[in-house]
Amino acid sequence: MAFLVLGVSCIVFSIVAISAGGGVLAALPDETLAAWGANQPVLTADRQGWRLLTAIFVHFWLLQLLFNGWTLLDLGRLMERLLGSAGFLLVYLASGFAGNLAHVIWQHDRLVAGSTGAIFGLLGALAGLLIRNRRAIPAAVTARLRKSVPAFLAFNVGYGLILKRVDAADYLGGVFSGLACGLILARPLTAAGVAARLRGNAVAAALSAAMVVAAALGIALPASDVIAEHDRLVDLEERLLAIYEAGRTDEKVSSAKFGDLIDDEILPPWRAERARLEVLPRVAPADQRRWRELKQYVKLRERAWALMAEALRSGDEDALQQAKEQLGEADRIADELKESDRKPVGHALRGVP
């Protein structure tokens, strides 16, 4: 089964490399990899959850395939002996799926491809087996992994650092999925233990199916409309700035009362909006950057309002200067959020006292 899995990966790589005209000495273009089923979070989250599986068999370049393939043959054949062909395939696919899913959840901004998460899952499964049956696996059986596994780890970490593709989410998702499978599938290496594999495979398969269903349901749920939240923030800011301007131009309002007005009428709704933004459910990968910038913008403006209120009541020039600095940083973020066809957030406070 390990040979079959590697063979499929080699065939897929050959087809993709030929179509792109590269991949031997340099990484294949992300656009080509995405077209052939790599895990591009923006696409995966857009009802293309099948990429969580297909990405396992799509590799960036030849060296990645070679190092992963070497480890797969060494580690994979050992795990196939320990778990059976069905158990090996179950761990491999479940771990690869879990790693890709973790990538979509936590590292939304770049494409990922390859069997690295699945192989980390095999390592996790071996750890699970050793936890359950430490004495049942002789050291000589795992000795042959002393070359391929360190090479696999060194290549994937080194390659990731050089190309800025270290994917901790993929690695950890694969490891923990494999560990869970290993703990479930662990059986004594006896005739009775081998006969009991079917039950363990059924349990692991049921849990894997539940993970697939949960992922499918999660991907199918509508994502938060960050653009609508952006517009909501613009409207709120305009209303609050109207209150601010009215207080600033009212000669009857002392500085201290103006500070109280900011505390009583401006900060509470602004803080409520910040709290709302912090917990938006299911922000699509394509909207993650805008969401982060909006949250940072709201935080900076909140600090500026609070410092300004303090400065108005106390006459503290340092607090006023800090407020201006916070406003400047907020305006910088607002400039990044501006789009030619949209009304931007960010209205510099005129005549700050």
Residues 19 and 98 occupy one common structural domain:
yes
Residues 26 and 89 occupy one common structural domain:
yes
- pLDDT per position as a tens digit, 172-209: 888 888 888 878 877 665 555 555 666 666 776 777 77
Asked whether residue 80 is domain-assigned, the answer is: yes
Residues 122 and 195 occupy one common structural domain:
yes
Give yes or no for residue 345 having a pLDDT over 60: no
pLDDT at 54: 92
- pLDDT per position as a tens digit, 220-276: 555 677 888 888 888 888 888 888 888 888 877 788 888 888 889 988 998 888 888
Asked whether residue 174 is domain-assigned, the answer is: yes
Residues 142 and 250 occupy one common structural domain:
no
Mean pLDDT (the chain) is 78
Burial of 57 (0-12, 13-18, 19+ CB in 10 A): buried
Average pLDDT on 163-174 reads 72
225 SS3 class: coil
Least confident of 34-43, 152-161, 285-294: 152-161
pLDDT at 289: 80
Could you tell me the CA-to-CA distances from 329 to 51, 97, 304 in Å, in that order? 39, 40, 10
Burial of 241 (0-12, 13-18, 19+ CB in 10 A): middle
pLDDT at 223: 64
Average pLDDT on 77-85 reads 83
User: For position 101, which CATH number holds?
Assistant: 1.20.1540.10
Residues 249 and 310 occupy one common structural domain:
yes
Asked whether residue 93 is domain-assigned, the answer is: yes
Residue 145: other Cβ atoms inside 10 A = 16
Q: Give the end of a domain, one of 220, 248, 269.
A: 220
pLDDT at 350: 34
Residues 193 and 248 occupy one common structural domain:
no
**Conformational region of residue 47, where left means phi above 0, alpha means psi within -120 to 50, and beta covers everything else:** left
Residue identified by tokens 């960010």 is 346
Q: How far, in Å, CA of 29 to CA of 326, rounded?
A: 40
* Contact status, residue 68 vs residue 96, Cβ threshold 8 Å: no
Closest by alpha carbon to 71, among 181, 133, 14, 146?
Answer: 146
Strand partners, 39: 112
Amino acid in position 218: G
Residue 49 DSSP label:
T
Give the length of the chain: 353
280 Cβ partners below 8 Å, 6+ apart? 224, 226, 229, 291
Closest by alpha carbon to 26, among 162, 213, 122?
Answer: 162
Q: How far, in Å, CA of 118 to CA of 175, rounded?
A: 8
Strand partners, 112: 39
pLDDT at 11: 92
Residues 271 and 329 occupy one common structural domain:
yes
Residue identified by tokens 């999660």 is 218
Closest by alpha carbon to 56, among 181, 170, 192, 206?
Answer: 170
Could you tell me the CA-to-CA distances from 120 to 114, 131, 327 in Å, in that order? 12, 17, 46
* Contact status, residue 62 vs residue 84, Cβ threshold 8 Å: no
Most confident by average pLDDT, 33-42, 132-141, 281-290, 314-323 = 33-42
| C-alpha triplet 71, 75, 78: angle, nearest 5° | 155
- pLDDT per position as a tens digit, 284-337: 777 778 888 888 888 888 888 888 888 888 887 787 788 788 777 877 777 776
Give yes or no for residue 279 having a pLDDT over 80: no
Residues 58 and 160 occupy one common structural domain:
yes
Asked whether residue 346 is domain-assigned, the answer is: no
Q: Give the end of a domain, one of 220, 238, 260.
A: 220
Closest by alpha carbon to 55, among 98, 11, 3, 96?
Answer: 96
Residue identified by tokens 């490891």 is 175
Residues 183 and 256 occupy one common structural domain:
no
Task: Give the count of domains, the chain.
Answer: 2
Asked whether residue 347 is domain-assigned, the answer is: no
Average pLDDT on 54-60 reads 90
Cα 139 versus chain centre, distance: 37
79 Cβ partners below 8 Å, 6+ apart? 2, 87, 88, 91, 122, 125, 126
Give yes or no for residue 10 having a pLDDT over 90: yes
Could you tell me the CA-to-CA distances from 246 to 238, 261, 265, 277, 352 in Å, in that order? 12, 10, 12, 27, 13
Asked whether residue 9 is domain-assigned, the answer is: yes
Residues 264 and 214 occupy one common structural domain:
no
Q: How far, in Å, CA of 165 to CA of 106, rounded?
A: 14
Q: Give the end of a domain, one of 205, 220, 235.
A: 220
Asked whether residue 129 is domain-assigned, the answer is: yes
Residues 238 and 146 occupy one common structural domain:
no
Q: Work out the percent of the chain whose per-residue pLDDT is above 70.
A: 78
Domain of 121, in residue numbers: 2-220
Considering only the C-alpha atoms of the chain, give the largest distance between any 2 of them, rounded to a whole number of Å.
Answer: 92
Residues 184 and 328 occupy one common structural domain:
no
Asked whether residue 22 is domain-assigned, the answer is: yes
160 Cβ partners below 8 Å, 6+ apart? 166, 167
pLDDT band at 102 (very low <50, low <70, confident <90, very high): confident
39 SS3 class: strand
